[in-house]
Chains A and B, each alone.
Chain A
């Protein structure tokens, strides 16, 4: 086994993709039925869950470092979404995790989870997972960097909120959190499917009602993408609705993309990266209660690029690396 994490650590076969897609579509149903296809949140290495014991962690990462970066994929995906061909050596596969390990000495860990569950529920699972990871990790952890793509970014926000509420030991270790194409304002496509379902149900026709019923089968995870992430208590939104606060002790970074080369093009404004729109960030860094509490230099827009490309693009990696290196220098 090599000392450096390989990109094959996060590569996955098509059967895993099929299972991940089913989990994204009807994951809450799978859980309710205790179906064998349901994915339990865990860290995965070489398409297998990594038991959170010192021995297993040492076997997966023979030279662990005190700096961890944890990757969370988006809706209907798995850790395979982080793997891409190295442009300087097309025969070799790599990932942001493998590159961060080589360049900055991070130990990369890839989570896989049931993306059909409610965001808050996955947030709680992630908080529990990080607690277990910290307890089992063979070294004292000095830094924890969280990188989430799309829905994964929202799960990170929920986990940080839940962890901070519970005073979990991993929370103060989170130095930086990266959100790649995460719909912090809600995803227009999810909102559109919600409106379509209501319209189809409202039309007094058996066929439209049938189509509406089929639309309505989509998972809670998909439904949660309609709006900003809200605080939940006992599975229900707190009243009045409050958005999940950002972790004040960490630096937050947004990476967004537009389909067109010109980010101000009408297509870019209307469609963003195809699934998530580009948010408007205020000029001045606001306080922690603002919708986006990060300075503009913590926001990068890549054009032209689509939503899925955000997890596998050398330019995006270069920006993440620069931000990580810049943070190291600043402290």
Chain B
């Protein structure tokens, strides 16, 4: 494999991982904003406000962890793919 081809392939993999990272982050922010809108009215309903806040916190934590795991998996896959490409190039 030519050095330039390898550089481009690695660049493509890194760009794909960056895109997943950015898209996941943006969707996570939109998801949280929408969830906050749903829970907001409960803040005005006296006895329901406190349990609603707890449920909101739990949901937000789970949501953030799901998105972070997607980002982490994507990064790991990208790093693995780049390493494989580099090994293959060395083998060639």
Q: Please give the residue numbers on chain A whose beta carbons come within 8 Å of chain B beta carbons, in ascending order.
A: 19, 22, 26, 29-30, 33, 35-38, 206-207, 209-210, 213-214, 217
Contacts and interface: CB of A to CB of B under 8 A. Distances in A.
Of all A-B residue pairs in the complex, the 8 with the closest CB atoms, nearest first, are A36-B11, A206-B33, A36-B7, A37-B11, A206-B30, A210-B30, A35-B11, A36-B10
22 contacts: A19-B8, A22-B15, A26-B15, A33-B18, A35-B11, A35-B15, A36-B6, A36-B8, A37-B8, A37-B11, A37-B15, A206-B29, A206-B31, A206-B33, A206-B34, A207-B34, A209-B33, A210-B29, A210-B30, A213-B26, A214-B26, A217-B22
Interface residues of B, number: 19
Given A35-B15, A36-B14, A37-B15, A210 B8 contact: no
Contacts of B37: 206
A209 B25 CA distance: 13
B14 A35 contact: yes
Given A36-B8, A210-B27, 17 more contacts: A33-B14, A33-B18, A35-B15, A36-B9, A36-B10, A36-B14, A37-B11, A37-B12, A37-B15, A38-B11, A206-B29, A206-B30, A206-B31, A206-B34, A206-B37, A210-B29, A210-B30
Contacts of B11: 30, 35-38
A207 B15 contact: no
Interface of B: 6-12, 14-15, 18, 22, 26-27, 29-31, 33-34, 37
Nearest to A48: B4
Contacts of B18: 29, 33
A207 B26 CA distance: 10
Contacts of B22: 217
Contacts of B30: 206-207, 209-210
Contacts of B14: 33, 35-36
